[in-house]
Amino acid sequence: MKHRNVLVFPAGTEIGLEIFHALNYCKEVTLFGAGQNLSNHAPFIYPEYHILPSIYEDSWVERLSSLCTMLAIDYIFPAYDDVIVALSREAHKLSPKIITSPLLTTEITRSKSTTYRLLANKIRVPLLYHNPDEVLDFPVFVKPDKGQGSFGATKVSDIEALRTAITRVPEPIICEYLPGEEYTVDCFSDREKGVLFCGARRRCRVRSGIAVNTITEQLPDALQMANRIAETLDLRGAWFFQVKRAQTGELTLLEIAPRVAGSMASHRVMGVNFPLLSIFEAERIPLFMNINHGIIEVDRALCNRYRHSIRYVTVYFDLDDTLIVNGNVNLIMISFIYKCINAGKTLILITRHRGELHQTLLQYRLLGLFDEVLHIGPEEKKSSYIVSNGAIFIDDSFSERMDVAANCNIPTFDCSMVEMLLNDNAYST
């Protein structure tokens, strides 16, 4: 198994926190966080958090390079929009690979006006006004050309308010006002095969540009928009775009970002681990996805909570690299086991463990947790032992999950997806 040391920078952003939750229990990765010496959440969750200067300080590239050498870092995930461009421009000075799209794509998407001009003949983009005197119909929207989310965005209703707004917003652009529903479309692209995943979610409640309540839904035309964007821009790995309905009801582009989004958790817990898949895409590993179907609502306060439509009465668990990871008991799995015990679920351990199974369970104090233990042979398929009525299956192995999903037709989960089951409030039937 190839192992990767991965640095997230800056780790304390919402982007950095989502990357942590996606990769924390992946056996392929050891995570490190870095950022400024400012109060943020990353030092509380990353096993190692290292202090680095801001990208606006002269020494930042040298300091980052030294840290990467010391930690033997293989990949860097940029976790802030300006950092994506800065790292892409300085990539030749750094030995780790930067996980994002090519430099030209990062520069184009950092500017909304450049993005709109490039895509104007491909998809619907907002009408832009070159100066306040061109505006005949109000309201309009003023926002920074290089902002993200809703930072600095202002709705103005008359010419005087417009003239004031453009003096207060850095690099302002004046756009038509879009009154309808707002969506984020999470995407994943392979550089040769194009868009491999496209999933929309409605931005129901937004705070500081972050969707703190979002719900997945079918969005007609989203895939077509994603394909047209990807045909124009060289997008690799995880990316997303935001759209809003115009007065006519048409989906209209707001912005594109070649990175992980903080609320991509809504699709991660259904089977699309965007950061891990982005690493595999960079390594040109053939990619396949096994996605559970259903509606996911994420409401974010100080932690993620989920609402989902999956029903189950029996849980099948793998042991090695699922319940026991790198010599330690997986705490989120133990929490989930006891949640299942409290709810009266049937728990079955199914494993090909090569050692003395009873002794291993005794060593890790896992004896007595399961209603049944199935210790199968090295060549036997787990799917042959699973009674699929009302069951789900949890295993770190993608091939095992694919086999069970195909032959038993039940939802399957890896360790990064279990937080949905642990922190959930299922839809009532």
CATH code of residue 380: 3.40.50.1000
- Domain co-membership, 186 together with 273: yes
What's the pLDDT at 1?
65
Mean model confidence pLDDT for the chain? 94
**Whether 155 and 247 share a structural domain:** no
Question: Which residue matches tokens 């699973």?
Answer: 386
**Are 266 and 352 members of one domain?**
no
136 and 236 belong to one structural domain: no
Residue 217 in tokens: 């839904």
Number of H helices, E strands in the chain: 14, 23
Q: Token match 């209703």: residue?
A: 157
Residue 68 is predicted with a pLDDT of: 98
Q: Are residues 264 and 340 in the same domain?
A: no
User: Residues 6 or more apart from 132 whose CB is under 8 A from it?
Assistant: 159, 162, 163, 166, 174
Please give the Cα distance from 352 to 382 (Å, whole number).
9
**Which residues, listed in sequence order, are joined to residue 32 by a DSSP beta bridge?**
7
- Residues 371 and 404 reside in one and the same domain: yes
- Model confidence pLDDT, tens digit, residues 190-232: 999 999 999 999 999 988 788 899 999 999 899 999 999 999 9
Q: Identify the band that residue 429 occupies on the pLDDT scale cut at 50, 70 and 90.
A: very low
Look at residue 148 and tell me whether its pLDDT is greater than 70.
no
DSSP letter at 428 equals P
What are the angstrom distances between the C-alpha of 81 and each of 106, 109, 221, 236, 239?
9, 10, 26, 16, 12
Out of 9-18, 240-249, 298-307, 316-325, pick the least confident.
298-307
Look at residue 231 and tell me if it is in a domain.
Answer: yes
What average pLDDT does range 56-77 have in this prediction? 97
**32 part of a folded domain:** yes
Quick one: pLDDT band at residue 351, thresholds 50, 70, 90?
A: very high
**Of residues 300 and 360, which shows the higher confidence score?**
360
Q: How many separate domains does the chain show?
A: 4
Averaged over 286-298, what is the pLDDT?
Answer: 95
- % of the chain at pLDDT higher than 70: 97
Q: How confident is the model at residue 150 (pLDDT cuts 50, 70, 90)?
A: low
- Lookup: tokens for 154: 């202002």
Q: Which residues pair with 412 in a beta bridge?
A: 393
Are 397 and 415 in the same domain? Answer: yes
**Alpha helices for 346-397 (secondary structure H):** 357-363
Residue position matching structure tokens 């330690």: 328
The whole-angstrom separation of Cα 74 and Cα 177 is: 44
Which pLDDT score, from 0 to 100, does residue 408 have? 97
Q: Tell me, what CATH number does 278's domain have? A: 3.30.470.20
Spatial CA neighbour of 306 closest among 213, 391, 201: 213
- What's the rounded mean pLDDT across residues 21-35? 95
> Which of these three, 257, 291, 325, is where a domain ends?
291
CA atoms within a 13 Å half-sphere pointing along the CA-CB vector of 208:
5
Across-strand partners of 190? 194
Residue-number span of the structural domain to which 332 is assigned: 310-422
Answer yes or no: are the C-beta atoms of 142 and 154 closer than 8 Å.
yes
Same-domain status, 158 and 248? no
Q: Give 394's strand partners.
A: 317, 413
Question: With contact defined as beta carbons under 8 Å apart, do 197 and 186 qualify?
Answer: yes
- CB-based contact 174:128 (threshold 8 Å): yes
| SS3 of residue 308 by DSSP | coil
Shared domain check, 268 and 368: no
The 10s digit of each residue's pLDDT in 300-343 is 877 777 889 999 999 999 999 999 999 999 999 999 999 999 99
Tell me: do 207 and 256 sit in the same domain: yes
- Of the candidates 237, 261, 291, which is a domain's last residue? 291
pLDDT at residue 393 is higher than 60: yes
pTM: 0.86
81 Cβ contact list (under 8 Å, min separation 6): 110, 148, 257, 259
Please give the pLDDT value at position 151. Answer: 63
Average pLDDT of the residues in 260-264? 95
Same domain for 164 and 136?
A: yes
- With respect to residue 244, please indicate whether it lies within any of the assigned structural domains: yes
In a domain, 302, yes or no: no
216, two tokens: 């997945």
- Residue 54 domain flag: yes
Shared-domain flag, residues 237 and 341: no
Give the per-residue pLDDT at 168. Answer: 87
Q: At 153, list the tokens.
A: 């965005």
How far from 233 is each of 22, 116, 223, 258, 280, CA to CA, in Å?
26, 12, 15, 10, 20
The whole-angstrom separation of Cα 174 and Cα 348 is 59
CA atoms of 188 and 185, how far apart (whole Å): 10
Average pLDDT over residues 387-400: 96
β-bridge pairing 128-129 and 172-176: antiparallel
- Whether 149 shows a pLDDT value over 90: the answer reads no
| 108 vs 165: CA distance, rounded Å | 25
Using a 10 angstrom Cβ sphere, with 0-12 exposed, 13-18 middle and 19 or more buried, the burial of residue 160 is exposed
Structure tokens at 4: 């990767």
Residue 427 banded pLDDT, cuts 50, 70, 90: low
Q: Is 44 a member of any domain?
A: yes
Greatest CA separation found in the chain? 79
Residue 130 structure tokens:
């070159």
Which DSSP state fits 259? S
Amino acid at position 48, single letter: E
Structural domain includes residue 77 = yes
For residue 115, being part of any structural domain is answered with no
Last-in-domain residue among 79, 99, 119: 99
Write the CATH number for 26: 3.40.50.20
